[in-house]
Structure 1
Amino acid sequence: MGVCTVLIDTNITSINTTGITAFSMPSWQLALWASAYLALVLVAVTGNATVIWIILAHQRMRTVTSYFIVNLALADLCMAAFNAAFNFVYASHNIWYFGRTFCYFQNLFPITAMFVSIYSMTAITADRYMAIVHPFQPRLSALGTKAVIAGIWLVALALAFPQCFYSTITMEQGATKCIVAWPEDSKGMTHLLYHLAVIALIYFLPLMVMFVAYSVIGVTLWRRAVPGHQEHGASLRHLQAKKKFVKTMVLVVVTFAVCWLPYHLYFILGNFQEDIYCHKFIQQVYLALFWLAMSSTMYNPIIYCCLNRRFRSGFRLAFRCCPWVTPTERDKLELTHTPSLSMRVNRCHTKDTLFMAPSEATNGQPESGQDEVLMEP
């Protein structure tokens, strides 16, 4: 009876290959998979790079919320550029071509990027929760925002370090492998516990927190629309804008959850039933699930463009060199024009009508209440 080879996962799980599988597929099939992954990488890198440019190149777009969006876009861009392409090549051939140093990187960065992505979403959720549910509480300053972002990256690197630390290059029957050689124990529990802890921390726990927070936010916002809590004029428009922004971020979170769930379930199942890797079709299953997971990196720019007027204007300006894109003067004003004082909505005296506007007291520093540029009606 031949030795069954475990399909490689350089993202979450350990790798314990005991043989060599000839990952042979027809040329046309390999070309189709390569085209699918290439399209994913191009859309994700271009879209997220454009989101970063729209926010950082335009002063009006720089708010606490938008800085977390930049952090999310940067993580998604790097995930698509470094992990999707290289892991596709590895999974297609089961041979590691990229050297020892990149083997360490490939076992460090995916967990880091996933942690940064989902905790950037969680930070946006927390910022919206404080702005809407507890508007009188102190808010994040620009320095505090940068500290939170730096903390997210540091914790992400610490969480991914064990897998990087145990990474190594091996030669098996003439083929180079990039594996994670976990310490030996009687039941192989070390890598299983680490794997389950990672999935809990980068998927289930933050999603649970965001579900509860957005539920409370939704109840708070939609309660203001009942009789006795009607808003008028600018306050009503701002309330509608807040609702629209919350819907946008909920869609972002749900998209992430749907894309990554099958991938996580696949490797959880593999940890308890390793013979699933012995089936002949497992390579196609893995490539499909990995593409779905990686596709989460390309949807956010599309969501922003479809649901946010200022991001649409930014995309038109970014792609104005394309013959089918014609930016207007209004698109430029959307990203550069600062509303006059008469158009700003100041604090009201009740919690139900509190909508923070930009204030000269901040000296141009973004406050988490200054997010009307991302929440137009």
Structure 2
Amino acid sequence: MGSCAIVNDTNISSSLESNATGVTAFSMPGWQLALWAIAYLGLVLVAVVGNATVIWIILAHQRMRTVTNYFIVNLALADLCMAAFNATFNFVYASHNIWYFGRAFCYFQNLFPIMAMFVSIYSMTAIAADRYMAIVHPFQPRLSGPGTKAVIAGIWLVALALAFPQCFYSTITMDHGATKCVVAWPEDNGGKMLLLYHLTVIALIYFLPLVVMFVAYSVIGLTLWRRTVPGHQAHGANRRYLHAKKKFVKTMVLVVVTFAICWLPYHLYFILGNFQKDIYCHKFIQQVYLALFWLAMSSTMYNPIIYCCLNHRFRSGFRLAFRCCPWVTPTEEDKLELTHTPSLSVRVNRCHTKETLFMAGDVAPSETTNGQAEGPQEGMPPNVLPWLHGEA
């Protein structure tokens, strides 16, 4: 940040305006700092518990292990780690203006947040691409299980390459007797290399994937809301199937919009700081920074809440996960939602439904992984159609 910055940023993800060398410590009164600590602690607890539960719901139940749900697991893992590491340790560093965690963790703290944000948003992009192929081009081959794992591995590798320069230039310095974790970029003409890197990363981990998802979900929405099933097929299972697909699209659009809103002010803050460094000299900037950082980090805790509120299967999964709580009482229906295997007659009916949809020119049901049909079906009777959360 600037030389007169009140707040030091230890690389927070996308902003990438990593670790300034300013020496002005936080001067907030103790009660104010305690309120911020409570706010951040609540955020971290909700994000870690919520995303860990999402991962358990999917991985612990064979029926849930589908192509799209693997991307949801990848997204949940990235959000969990972002909250546990970036939000926690960066808040401690910014609060005390002293780096307590050693050289090795300094490298990690300047590497992982960019990786985690890249993985988060490109997992959302992969879900959008998978839904686009399933709904707009239902006759095209779907991504296989091994292919899905390869895509996930590729996302992490590209994220590592993108974050590596900031990690490479990380170092520990002493500033007026205080230990600092900083990114010491090479000297260049007016800091153009640093500015170019920051703008490139922000474009790649925010604006570009959002544009891709906007286009994909726009086409998906037009496809779903424009198509109808003729005659009697407009009623019953086929209509409920289309309704489930539409509800899934609405769910994922809400996830993407929430992410975009949470991170936009933070990105704009650091883009502005690259051109007007004097903004860091104002006394109020520490409160602005903490508020924007909390808003950005809060994006890690909303997805589990959205899943639980909008999807019946996830609500059942959360009730099962928290059945030890006295106010949570899972039912037998909740267990069947996640564990019941469709009967042979239902599978035959499902195949017949697929053929009917193809003949009607409607969207085709998704391909399966490990012999299981994908996606959450909100408001549909058990075993009529596959679960379609992450699948539409």
* Structure 1 partner of 2:251: 248
Find out whether 1:158 has 2:161 as its counterpart: yes
Distance 1:55-1:19 versus aligned 2 partners, 3 A rule: closer
RMSD of aligned Cα (Å): 2.2
Q: Please show how residues 147-226 of structure 1 align to structure 2 within 5 Å.
A: 147-225=150-228
- Asked if 2 retains the 8 angstrom alpha-carbon contact of 1:231 and 1:353, the reply is no
Structure 1 residues 89-112: Cα deviation after superposition (integer angstroms, max 9, x where no partner): 111121111111000000000000
Q: Distance in 1 between matches of 2:67 and 2:18?
A: 39
* Structure 1 partner of 2:7: 7
Tell me by how many angstroms 1:365 deviates: 4.7
Q: Distance in 2 between matches of 1:152 and 1:203?
A: 15
Find out whether 1:22 has 2:25 as its counterpart: yes
Structure 1 residues 161-209: Cα deviation after superposition (integer angstroms, max 9, x where no partner): 0000000010011011111111101211111000000000000000000
- Asked if 2 retains the 8 angstrom alpha-carbon contact of 1:6 and 1:17, the reply is no
* Structure 1 partner of 2:35: 32
Q: Distance in 2 between matches of 1:277 and 1:146?
A: 43
- Asked if 1 retains the 8 angstrom alpha-carbon contact of 2:244 and 2:376, the reply is no
Q: Distance in 1 between matches of 2:360 and 2:136?
A: 8
Distance 1:368-1:326 versus aligned 2 partners, 3 A rule: closer
- Asked if 2 retains the 8 angstrom alpha-carbon contact of 1:23 and 1:92, the reply is yes
Tell me by how many angstroms 1:54 deviates: 0.2
Q: Secondary structure at the match of 1:321?
A: coil
Q: Secondary structure at the match of 2:113?
A: helix
* Structure 2 partner of 1:329: 332
Q: Distance in 1 between matches of 2:50 and 2:72?
A: 13
Tell me by how many angstroms 1:153 deviates: 0.4
* Structure 1 partner of 2:272: 269
Alignment partner for residue 362 of structure 2, among 332, 353, 367? 353
Counterpart code for 1:274:
K
- Asked if 1 retains the 8 angstrom alpha-carbon contact of 2:173 and 2:182, the reply is yes
Structure 1: gaps of 5 or more residues = none
Tell me by how many angstroms 1:220 deviates: 0.2
Distance 1:369-1:4 versus aligned 2 partners, 3 A rule: closer
Counterpart code for 1:313:
S
Tell me by how many angstroms 1:343 deviates: 2.7
Tell me by how many angstroms 1:374 deviates: 2.7
- Asked if 1 retains the 8 angstrom alpha-carbon contact of 2:103 and 2:172, the reply is yes
Tell me by how many angstroms 1:237 deviates: 1.1
Q: Secondary structure at the match of 2:387?
A: helix
Q: Number of residue pairs matched?
A: 373
Find out whether 1:300 has 2:300 as its counterpart: no
Q: Distance in 2 between matches of 1:203 and 1:156?
A: 13
Distance 1:358-1:119 versus aligned 2 partners, 3 A rule: closer
Structure 1 residues 247-273: Cα deviation after superposition (integer angstroms, max 9, x where no partner): 100000000000000000000000000
- Asked if 1 retains the 8 angstrom alpha-carbon contact of 2:8 and 2:21, the reply is no
Structure 1 residues 344-369: Cα deviation after superposition (integer angstroms, max 9, x where no partner): 4223233733433677xx6x256768
Q: Distance in 1 between matches of 2:154 and 2:361?
A: 33
Structure 2: gaps of 5 or more residues = 378-385
Tell me by how many angstroms 1:217 deviates: 0.2
Counterpart code for 1:350:
M
TM-score (norm 2): 0.90
Q: Distance in 2 between matches of 1:19 and 1:358?
A: 54
Q: Distance in 2 between matches of 1:188 and 1:229?
A: 66
Counterpart code for 2:196:
L
Counterpart code for 1:202:
I
Distance 1:157-1:368 versus aligned 2 partners, 3 A rule: farther
